[in-house]
A and B are shown apart, each in its own frame.
Chain A
Amino acid sequence: MIAAAARESRVVGALGRRALTLQFRRAQLLMPTFVLPLFLLAVIASGTSAGRDLRDFPEVSSYLGFVVAGTLLQGALLAGLTAGIAMASDIEGGFFDRLLAAPVRRTSLVLGRLAGTLGLAVLQMAWFLTVALIFGASYPGGVLGAVGAAILAALTAVGIGGLAIAIAIRTGSMNLMQSIFPFVFVLLFTAPAFFPRDLLTPTLHDIAAYNPLTYVVEGARGLLQDDASLGDPWLGLAAAVGLAAFATGLAVLALRDRARRT
């Protein structure tokens, strides 16, 4: 029993390392995961900073430090999506069949891919927070707050990765995975990613209540700014873990279905 668990954990580790390594070998995947969110952070932080002058905008130490939580969320979404694209690429290229033919548990194939996503997300979050810090963001929550925010975002990346993998397994199409790129932004924009929830338009304010990412970004913001009124970290953690568990389950089910069909 213990030996079997150790064996599966080695499989998960190996698949995770492969997923992470390939990410850095495909230049076209690095752009969306490491660069694009920072560009968006730069233009939003500068382009909308006048928003601080709005009457209901909360008191924060730096606008950049407030907005960066949205960047963490965006990074998580893109890391998750690239997991799906990489999975579809494996399926199209035939590598996934090789994995399916190996004597490993189906769950390990999903967990291995998600382990890679988790590793990627941790690196991403550290990168985003550091770059923002260099450019003037302040984190009153300190190192612990920053680590907490990064953990919330990395768990969210696992959740989004699970959803993307489930779609990739069911469709096996790289094209389709790439074309759902814009829809990632639907999830981003229906959460208070860059502006306080109370300042969203009324319709979006109502929709945001049903988006689990709302609680993640608010929780991260609360941790970074050390201000519970901006968001409850525990609620954020519950949302991130819940999403990750639900999405992983979906991906495992999709894989079992695929294995049964083929």
Chain B
Amino acid sequence: MSSRTNSPAGPVAWAFWIRSLGEVTRVRGALVGTSIAPLVFLLGTSGQFGRLSGLPGFPTDSYLSWIIPLCCLQGAGFAGAAAGANLARDIEQGWFDRLLVAPVARPLLILGPVLGAITRAMVPVTLVLVVGLLIGGELTGGPLGILALYVASVGFCTVAAMWGIAMAVIFRTQQAGPLMQMGVFLGVFLSTAYTPQLLLKGWLEDVARFNPVSHVLELGRQATVSGIDVSLAHTWPGLVALAGMIAFFGALAMVGLRRMGR
């Protein structure tokens, strides 16, 4: 008997999730790029620019604490972009065709890799946070601050994954990999990445003001930056920014997916 309904979403999402976890456990070095890079960046940037926290107007005297949420977002973002790269590989190798001919609701084809990316992102985010705190970062926001940091990381990973997936379904080649990473790179660093808005100068001052990632960083910085206390005022702009970006890039990915057979 034929059915007009698709397969139930739960088991399908579960199957996709399990498969994407395989990338972590079985691909040698799969986590190196996404885990070691933000850690190196954390140590390097805090060492290079540590004195910046001495500038008037800096909301903390610990530059390491300022930079920890940035590196968490960087790790989460690159884990998200990797979902796009993996999907492009699946498309090139024909595996994705197999998924496309299955009676599965189309959004699940995107949701699966996103869930996998979020899971993988937990490794670099946690690693950066733990190492950052161990080498002198301050945990000023308590459990609620940590929750805010993880929400920011998960949300940004979702945004990056949707961006990566959109690029994958539009270009359908692994050659689009650098584009996916560059999008995350620009999103993260054209923000209040290194210094607060107050201390930014030139073109970046304007770009960072309008870059929604600045608000996501503010959401995450409630965990470690003493001058950004845990409050609704520092939370809702980040949540709104995440919701907007997820809606935009999610729609872009869905449009790209629907155009695949045209």
Contacts and interface: CB of A to CB of B under 8 A. Distances in A.
B37 interface: yes
Report the contact-size class of chain B (Cβ under 8 Å from the partner). Answer: 35 or more
A188 B40 CA distance: 10
B33 A181 contact: yes
B142 interface: no
A48 B194 contact: yes
A53 B199 CA distance: 10
A178 B203 CA distance: 33
B40 A27 contact: no
Contact of A49 (B29, B54, B185, B201): B201
A193 interface: yes
B37 A182 contact: yes
Interface string A52-90: 011000000000000000000000000000000000000
A189 B189 contact: no
Contacts of B54: 54
B32 A47 contact: no
A182 B32 contact: yes
A46 B200 contact: yes
Interface string B186-213: 1001100111000111111100000000
B200 to A, nearest CB: 7
B257 to A, nearest CB: 24
A47 B185 contact: no
Interface string A136-179: 00000000000000000000000000000000000000011011
A194 interface: yes
A28 interface: yes
A179 B33 contact: yes
Contacts of B36: 182-183
A122 B189 CA distance: 28
Nearest to B27: A175
Given A176-B29, A185-B41, A51 B52 contact: yes
A36 B52 CA distance: 24
B21 interface: no
A199 B51 contact: yes
Interface stretch (B2-10, B42-50, B215-223): B42-50
Contact of B175 (A28, A39, A46, A204): A28
Nearest to B37: A182
A201 B44 contact: no
A86 to B, nearest CB: 16
A190 B37 contact: no
Given A28-B175, A46-B203, A175-B29, A39 B194 contact: no
A54 B51 contact: yes
21 contacts: A39-B182, A43-B189, A44-B194, A46-B204, A49-B202, A51-B52, A54-B51, A54-B52, A54-B54, A54-B55, A175-B28, A182-B32, A182-B33, A182-B36, A185-B41, A189-B44, A189-B48, A192-B48, A193-B48, A194-B49, A201-B47
Interface of B: 28-29, 32-33, 36-37, 40-41, 43-52, 54-55, 175, 177-178, 182, 185-186, 189-190, 193-195, 199-205
**4 interchain residue pairs of minimum CB distance:** A189-B44, A46-B204, A204-B47, A47-B194
